[in-house]
Amino acid sequence: MKNYMRIISAIVLIISDLVIFFSLIVRTRTAANIIEGFSTQQRLNPEYWTYGLSSEIIIFFSSMLLSFILGILFLDLTMKLIKKESINKLVLISTLIVVAIQIFIKVWSINTSIQESKESAESLKQMAEKADRKTVTDLGIIWYLQDPILCKNMESTSMLLSCMDGFNNINLFTPDYCQVLKDEENVEICILALAGKQKNKDICYLIKSESTKNSCLQEATNNK
């Protein structure tokens, strides 16, 4: 191999190694959280390991292991290129095999994700078609139907505001949406939040409580 080709190959491998090991560092925290969560569930239910190990978890850790192996192989190849030593065919073949497996896992994972998204969308569509518009409170269904009036089915302030947040245009909602809440204090809290989201201090004057009204005016003004 010519010198300039060795240099280019070595640089490419070094960059690839840096990307791989940086990725491993980033994924280590996720791995720790997964292990901690799994350990907690295992303590609560000894049989959890029989059904708790999802394919996503197995793929995640398999990918991490393969990335580590690939990083070591790339490092070995880089050192040989720098020292101008002959490259072991076994190492080269092993590297190609690991790369091929990584690509296969990535493609399979993407295809699985796409398939699951399609199934989820189809399931949501079926549930939306069967939903009773007078009583539906499932946010996913309401956002799928894109009908703001369905937010009036919500019985709590947090759910009502969450429902509103799921629509691209917050100005679709008027203060009368807050009136579906039974408690006057919750109604005023809802109006306060709505005024802040819409940057509309005019609706603050619908609030009877002076302290809440002042908070509302401040919220609407600050968000401008």
Tens of pLDDT, residue by residue over 31-58, are: 888 888 877 777 777 666 665 566 778 8
Whole-number pLDDT of residue 49: 61
Query: Which residues neighbour 194 within 8 Å (Cβ) at sequence distance 6 or greater?
Result: 161, 164, 170, 173, 175, 177, 178, 200, 203
Q: Is 134 a member of any domain?
A: no
Residues 91 and 185 in one domain: no
Domain boundary at 129, 156, 180, which?
129
Rounded Cα distance between 219 and 197, Å, is: 9
Structural domain including 124 reads 3-129
Tens of pLDDT, residue by residue over 55-96, are: 778 888 888 899 999 999 888 888 888 888 887 888 889 889
The CA distances from residue 71 to 6, 10, 74, 137, in Å, are 18, 13, 5, 49
% of the chain residues with pLDDT over 70? 94
Residues 125 and 152 in one domain: no
Residues 79 and 8 in one domain: yes
Q: How confident is the model at residue 189 (pLDDT cuts 50, 70, 90)?
A: very high
Domain boundary at 107, 129, 151, which?
129
Q: How confident is the model at residue 30 (pLDDT cuts 50, 70, 90)?
A: confident
Whole-number pLDDT of residue 92: 86
Owner of token pair 């569930």: 41
Q: Is 169 a member of any domain?
A: yes
| 6-15 long-range Cβ contacts below 8 angstroms, 24+ apart | 6/81, 6/82, 6/84, 9/81, 10/78, 10/81, 10/82, 13/74, 13/75, 13/77, 13/78, 13/81, 14/78
Residues 119 and 180 in one domain: no
Whole-number pLDDT of residue 1: 55
Whole-number pLDDT of residue 48: 63
Q: How confident is the model at residue 147 (pLDDT cuts 50, 70, 90)?
A: very high
Q: Is the pTM of this model over 0.75?
A: no
Whole-number pLDDT of residue 204: 93
Average model confidence (pLDDT) across the chain: 86
